Structure 1
Amino acid sequence: MIRSARLLAVALAAPLAFAAPPARHAPPPKVKVAAPARQGTPYAGRDDAMQFADEVAQRQSLDPAWTRAAIAQARMLPVVVRLMQPAPTGTPKNWAAYRSRFIDPVRIQAGVRFWQDNRATLERAEAEYGVPPEIVVGIVGVETIYGQQMGNFRVLDALATLAFDFPPSHPRADERTKFFRNELEQFLALQKQMGVDPGRALGSYAGAMGMPQFMPSSWARWAVDFDGDGRIDLWRSPADVIGSVANYFKAFGWKPGMPTYYPVTFDLERLDKDALLAPDILPTFSVPSFLAKGALLEGDAVNHEGPLALIELQNGSDPPTYVAGTENFYVITRYNWSSYYAMAVIELGREVREAMQRGGS
């Protein structure tokens, strides 16, 4: 979801490595920049921005004149600052409403077409990385409706705005400023490798790019040339997108064959829900310790090997939905730090798979 940067895993902030020659990258498609991406105050006159440009040049062995010129063309976008503000305190979460945004007939049918068009590639990715097609299909569908909505913000503007003018009222302002400065640095390094004008790329308001909405550091570390054409293109190559998403999940510990979650109910007389929810989405409890705290599992779940987490999905004024999340559920949240997001990915992929089965595909 063009959204996501927001909910980006801290791990995405890892520095770009140049130990081996990078694969060639395709330049972003030539798309007319939307008006909002052209509005704002240029960073050309900001001393802090120019100092950062010099530091990037030194760290990445780039021409200082090039980095200065790149950041000079970036503009501060007030709309990006507004979009990055956290939701007001007390805003109720509602899984049913969240789900309806991503699991709908249009997205499901688009997912069916994507799966049908790329069936062999999805199967190859599963064989190589162990990630099932429905998870990859779910990710790309939730993120951009299979490339239909990849964002109309200039990535340079979005990242510069969040690197130099992240809203100070945000409770994690310092941490996020550091994160986005790193992403801006990785973006500039990537654009130099591609040999393209860094002002061309379009993406989300948080700087995520392409069909899978990879942040620059994710592109640098996990994007792969899965179609074998000698370049990485996450805007226009479904094969590169599929391989890159699967590679990302493998890197974060996806376990082939493991379910993402199990149904769970409660023994109310023994239930210690506070203890079960304390680790949040991090799988912490063995099956015996999970059961000892009043959770009830059935079928294959009682033989699950590995830790579990109690996942709570609030439904506004209605009772919450609960599931027992596995390590694979947690891996999906490394893409976007949200249990709601992970469940939407899982359910969209499942709905697409079932729609294909109903159609006899």
Structure 2
Amino acid sequence: MKKTAPWTAAAIFLIAACALPASAKPENQPKSAAQKAHAKAGQAHQGRASAKAPVLYASRPEAMEFADDLAARRDLDREWVRQAIGQAHFLPQVPRLMLPPAKGTAKNWRVYRSRFIDPIRIRAGVRFWQENQATLERAEREFGVPAEIIVGIIGVETIYGQQMGTFRVMDALATLAFDFPAAHPRAKERTEFFRRELEQFLSLTNRSNTDPFEPRGSYAGAMGLGQFMPSSWVRYAVDFDGDGRVDLFKSPADAIGSVANYFRGHGWTPGMPTHFGVQFDHARLQLDDLLAPDILPTFSAASMLAKGAVLDAQGVQHTGPLALVELQNGNDAPSYVAGTENFYAITRYNWSSYYAMAVIELGREVAAAR
């Protein structure tokens, strides 16, 4: 979990599928080919800006006021905070990457899926699983999260550490905290979100005695193999390799344990399937009612049946709430599944049913390829 650029219809969909609400994690939005090209161009621009005269936030009164307030509330050294924020670079390409796609953009699950369920990711996933099998088994025992879900997340996010981002996190967070695009429909909420993330990042680097300009990540400030935002790092990151420190960049064990802990913290239920197959009895189908709650599990198996959604044999026996999940396929008929509370838990990583299905299916393909 991005960008605006000269679009093809397929490229636009890939962003639309991951449009996030205020509470979601923008760092987890997958990127289209056009977006990747735009990001590379942005990184080149970032390098050229450093060689020229970058715009620093020391010149912005509201940024310095924020620094003073943050230092007072967090009991941090005022001059250290002012210097950190003041020396952050404004990245002009980053606000553009946050703008949502044009309305009416067609979504296509098959195209989206093909970007993540491919031979490169599957082969890399098999290697990652083989190299970290004991750690994945331990995480599954301790947190109740299946190895294939953890493998699916890290594969979708960074291809198992191959693509963790090259933006200075300090620059990205400062840019989004003080220059989030006003044209965004949730600009106020998003600005507040990124100011909280900037605060968490500075507190984290201060506690760990890390230079805040050292970490690199996504243009949204996400870090490491699992692309954790600073607040997620603070709440859910764990020292799973037992070396006395948390390192989500270089320690696969820490990343594995932290992803599993994240899901446990967002309501993962051990042993529960993520979704069930569903067909329709069109004579009594109330599709609008079934889709109204979106991906929030709301219906019992019986109430779904009463509204014309016929679950598979396993789904009929499920006792928890369910959501009818629609995956559009462009001009073709949509695909549907009945998502459980564990499906919903995956969407807490990225508020997108397309993302959740990609994670689930990548993990399954890697498991089968082993």
Map 1:75-90 onto structure 2 (within 5 A): 75-90=89-104
Among candidates 13, 17, 23, match of residue 10 of structure 1: 23
Q: Distance in 2 between matches of 1:113 and 1:258?
A: 27
CA separation of 1:124/1:190 partners in 2, compared to 1, >3 Å: closer, same or farther?
same
Q: What does the per-residue CA deviation read over 1:103-148, in whole Å, with 9 as the maximum and x for residues that have no partner?
A: 1000000000000000000000000000000000000000000000
Q: Distance in 1 between matches of 2:61 and 2:340?
A: 48
Matched residue type, 1:55: D
Among candidates 212, 222, 236, match of residue 236 of structure 2: 222
**What is the count of residue pairs matched by the alignment?**
337
Matched residue type, 1:317: N
CA separation of 1:204/1:346 partners in 2, compared to 1, >3 Å: closer, same or farther?
same
Q: How far is the alpha carbon of 1:11 from its aligned partner?
A: 6.9
Percent of residue pairs bearing the same amino acid type: 68
Q: What does the per-residue CA deviation read over 1:72-113, in whole Å, with 9 as the maximum and x for residues that have no partner?
A: 111111111111000111111111111111110000000000
Q: Which residue of 2 aligns with 1:264?
A: 278
Q: Is the 8 A contact 1:2 1:150 kept in 2?
A: no
Q: Which residue of 1 aligns with 2:171?
A: 157
Q: CA RMSD in A?
A: 1.8
Q: Distance in 1 between matches of 2:339 and 2:22?
A: 18
Q: Which residue of 2 aligns with 1:94?
A: 108
Q: How far is the alpha carbon of 1:166 from its aligned partner?
A: 0.5
Q: Which residue of 1 aligns with 2:323?
A: 309
Q: Which residue of 2 aligns with 1:172?
A: 186
1:207 counterpart = 2:201: no
CA separation of 1:156/1:140 partners in 2, compared to 1, >3 Å: closer, same or farther?
same
Q: Distance in 2 between matches of 1:6 and 1:166?
A: 16
Q: How far is the alpha carbon of 1:8 from its aligned partner?
A: 7.5
Give SS of 1:268's match. coil
CA separation of 1:12/1:342 partners in 2, compared to 1, >3 Å: closer, same or farther?
closer
Q: Which residue of 2 aligns with 1:27?
A: none
1:231 counterpart = 2:231: no
Give SS of 1:167's match. coil
Q: Which residue of 2 aligns with 1:61?
A: 75
Q: What does the per-residue CA deviation read over 1:5-42, in whole Å, with 9 as the maximum and x for residues that have no partner?
A: 974872779xxxxxxxxxxxxxxxxxxx9544443521
Q: Distance in 1 between matches of 2:221 and 2:19?
A: 10
Q: Is the 8 A contact 1:9 1:337 kept in 2?
A: no
Q: What does the per-residue CA deviation read over 1:36-78, in whole Å, with 9 as the maximum and x for residues that have no partner?
A: 4443521111000011111110111100100000011111111
Q: Distance in 2 between matches of 1:312 and 1:11?
A: 19
Matched residue type, 2:337: V
Q: Which residue of 2 aligns with 1:355?
A: 369
Among candidates 249, 263, 266, match of residue 263 of structure 2: 249
Q: Which residue of 1 aligns with 2:84?
A: 70
Q: Distance in 1 between matches of 2:80 and 2:43?
A: 25
Matched residue type, 2:316: V
CA separation of 1:95/1:11 partners in 2, compared to 1, >3 Å: closer, same or farther?
closer
Give SS of 2:59's match. coil
Structure scoring higher RCO (CA < 8 A, sep ≥ 6) equals: 1
CA separation of 1:239/1:206 partners in 2, compared to 1, >3 Å: closer, same or farther?
same
Task: Please list every run of 5 or more consecutive structure 1 residues that lacks an aligned counterpart in the other structure.
Answer: 14-32, 357-361
1:43 counterpart = 2:61: no
Q: Is the 8 A contact 1:45 1:72 kept in 2?
A: yes
1:183 counterpart = 2:197: yes
Q: Which residue of 1 aligns with 2:11?
A: none
Matched residue type, 2:138: R
Q: Is the 8 A contact 1:211 1:241 kept in 2?
A: yes
Q: Is the 8 A contact 1:36 1:153 kept in 2?
A: no
Q: How far is the alpha carbon of 1:2 from its aligned partner?
A: 8.6
Q: Is the 8 A contact 1:12 1:218 kept in 2?
A: no
Among candidates 273, 289, 302, match of residue 275 of structure 1: 289
TM-score (norm 1): 0.90
Q: Which residue of 1 aligns with 2:154?
A: 140
CA separation of 1:117/1:2 partners in 2, compared to 1, >3 Å: closer, same or farther?
farther
Moved over 6 A (4+): 2-6
Q: Which residue of 2 aligns with 1:334?
A: 348
Q: Is the 8 A contact 1:12 1:217 kept in 2?
A: no
Matched residue type, 1:226: F
Give SS of 2:58's match. coil
